[in-house]
A = this chain, B = another copy of it.
Amino acid sequence: MSLNKNNKILIVGLGLLGGSYAEALSDKGFEVGALDVKESSIEYGISHKLISHGQVEVTKEYVSKFDVIIFCLYPKLFIEWIREYQSFIKPNTIITDVTGVKKWVIEELDGILREDVEYIGAHPMAGKEVYGVENSSKAMFKPANYIITPTSKSSSSAVEVARSIGELLEFKTIVELTPEVHDEMIGFLSQLTHCIAVSLMTCKESEHLVSYTGDSFRDLTRIAKINENLWSELFILNKEELINQMDLFLEQFTNLKEAINNNDLDKMKEIMRLSTKRRSYFDK
């Protein structure tokens, strides 16, 4: 199945990401509906033309209208929704998500998802430091990466649907990774960096340092302003990988600390040369 204009798309969870998905897909001519626990979010979505319709109550009549369902929920809520309401889903519906951890989601769904509904994982690597449908904007996808995480069981048509969504949302790059590689990569690039930023920011009562702060400290702590409910859940659901990445960082940091402690200039310079070389790959 490749996505076509007759396909009706349901967004479950009309927040920042859900609203932005809805905006982009509605603008491309799709009929987009939404479910959200907040009536005000549905009203906002309709009045701002992000969605054609939506409701708070989860009913079979509504859910069974759709050919594709995109879950824009926290990971555990996503799984709970499936447990409670999957019987409402029309057979052969493709479901996908925006979840930042993949192995856990796939393992959970493996035991419970109906055989006639297929899940294909996707992770839009986009976000803002604000929340809610009122802040949604399809523009945030343009510079971002979209990762599809098929397993050996995924059908090519499900992967096609996920890819179509990524294209309709106009992500800068669309790539496929196994769930395992995805989770390791996210553990390193995203979760570890948030752990570092949070730890640095909690070191000191730093209000008095504001006037002396240059870009370095600001850059390293930008993501220390963090949604504690979402991120604590993501950290726990990818715990094994994240702890591995934290240990790897600890090893490097301790290594540098020892070089400094021992006045080992050669070692320090070697480390800095490696760091400079590796950072050069990332120059835009």
Contact = CB atoms under 8 A, between A and B. Distances in A.
A198 interface: yes
Interface string A210-253: 11111011111111111111011101100100110110111011
Contacts of A256: 195, 198-199
B282 A210 contact: yes
B222 A219 contact: yes
A232 B268 contact: yes
A106 interface: no
Given A207-B281, A232-B269, A275-B201, A212 B249 contact: no
Interface stretch (A85-93, A158-166, A182-190): A182-190
Copy count, this protein chain: 2
Contact of A220 (B211, B219, B260): B219
Contacts of A189: 209, 212-214, 216-217
A263 B249 contact: no
25 contacts: A125-B212, A126-B214, A144-B214, A145-B212, A145-B214, A173-B211, A189-B212, A189-B214, A189-B217, A193-B200, A193-B220, A195-B253, A198-B272, A200-B252, A202-B271, A202-B274, A206-B278, A210-B281, A219-B222, A225-B276, A228-B269, A232-B265, A232-B269, A233-B265, A235-B260
